[in-house]
Homo-oligomer: A and B are copies of this chain.
């Protein structure tokens, strides 16, 4: 029997949390149960969703180097130790997968991609150095000098991209401005990055789709153009609902950067039977918007959207367009008789809202589903 190829050998993967909702085992893709995600504003490392494209790299922090190359005066090759000697910052940021809530979209009409419920996001305190400080150290060319993008190359070969290591890019404006808070992180919630979250280094791009927050980053390349990688150029884009795999042209759409406003209900969950004697129902969830836009309001309805009730919000305050975290929310409402549907919709600080239905935002890759979140609650059990 031949041994598996490195990109197919999952024998060295970490021990995975047994209580997660597993969407794919190899590579491991799983999200925490809603009841766990709602427990705290900061998501503990063990409750953070796991999104992978291959076996988990196992890198030696002593020999591993992060290379800064491309349109720079002084290419760098940095060890973990060297990076730790630079000015450390911590940024609290929510990271959300573009495919969060894909399963809802898939139920309407088949989409391509790992199925995800509403828990493919989490909020952590990321510790590390500012990418802009490292770019300065390398003497990176500026946006005005033609260095319009920064590419991140990982070490994990991805089958989707002919086993090219996972590669993405972000605009230089997001990389180089101090208030944009893009990080090279080596800590997550005060601990060294867990292996599956990118040890020893990962990028964290606050306000952007999780796909840009490249784990196990090995090369930072300053360049004129957006990356031509699969994950930048031929994935993580949305289209008109009529576009299918026969006529899709990925060059026609923009790579997802900052995410649209969305929300999820975490309790109660779909189909949950509520105690008959309860007169009220307490609804809890999250809401999030990209680009640093904060959550202005979450409205909840139990009568199909005829009446809306504004939930109590728990959110970070911050500079305009620099709130990188989700809001958690809760509301107690009179429990309607019989079966009913709970709907929530969020409004962000730009007064963007969520679309009522999935169909008009349906897309073949099942990304950026931010339709009203709905949970169906059954009526009382029939008396026997």
A residues adjacent to B (C-beta < 8 A): 143, 171, 173-174, 179, 238, 240-242, 253-254, 256-261, 290-291, 293, 296-297, 299, 305, 307-310, 319-322, 345, 347, 349-357, 359-361, 368, 370
Contact = CB atoms under 8 A, between A and B. Distances in A.
16 contacts: A173-B319, A241-B308, A253-B297, A254-B349, A256-B351, A258-B350, A260-B350, A260-B351, A260-B352, A305-B359, A308-B360, A345-B360, A350-B352, A351-B370, A352-B352, A355-B355
Contact of A291 (B240, B257, B296, B321): B321
A342 to B, nearest CB: 15
A238 B347 contact: yes
Given A253-B296, A307-B242, A320-B174, A368 B356 contact: no
B350 A361 contact: no
A241 B306 CA distance: 10
B351 A319 contact: no
Contacts of A321: 173, 291
Given A143-B319, A319-B173, A360-B345, A254 B296 contact: yes
Q: How many copies does the complex hold?
A: 2
Given A143-B319, A174-B320, A238 B291 contact: no
Given A352-B352, A353-B355, 16 more contacts: A171-B319, A171-B320, A173-B320, A173-B322, A240-B308, A242-B307, A242-B309, A253-B296, A257-B349, A260-B350, A260-B353, A290-B350, A305-B360, A354-B355, A356-B356, A356-B357
> Which 6 pairs from chain A and chain B are nearest by CB?
A260-B352, A352-B352, A171-B320, A351-B368, A356-B356, A260-B351
A20 to B, nearest CB: 27
A359 B352 CA distance: 15
A319 B351 CA distance: 23
- Chain B CB within 10 A, most for which of A171, A256, A259, A260: A260
Interface of A: prevailing SS: loop
Given A291-B291, A291-B321, A238 B360 contact: no
Residue among A179, A309, A356 with the most chain B CB within 10 A? A356
Contacts of A240: 297, 299, 308-310
Contacts of A357: 356
Contacts of A179: 173
Contacts of A254: 296, 349
A3 to B, nearest CB: 43
A152 to B, nearest CB: 16
Contacts of A242: 307-309
Contacts of A359: 305
Contacts of A347: 238
Contacts of A241: 308
Contacts of A353: 260, 355, 360-361
Contacts of A171: 319-320
Contacts of A260: 350-353
Contacts of A238: 347, 351
A293 B361 CA distance: 18
A87 to B, nearest CB: 16
The CB with the most chain B CB atoms within 10 A, among A310, A321, A351, is that of A351
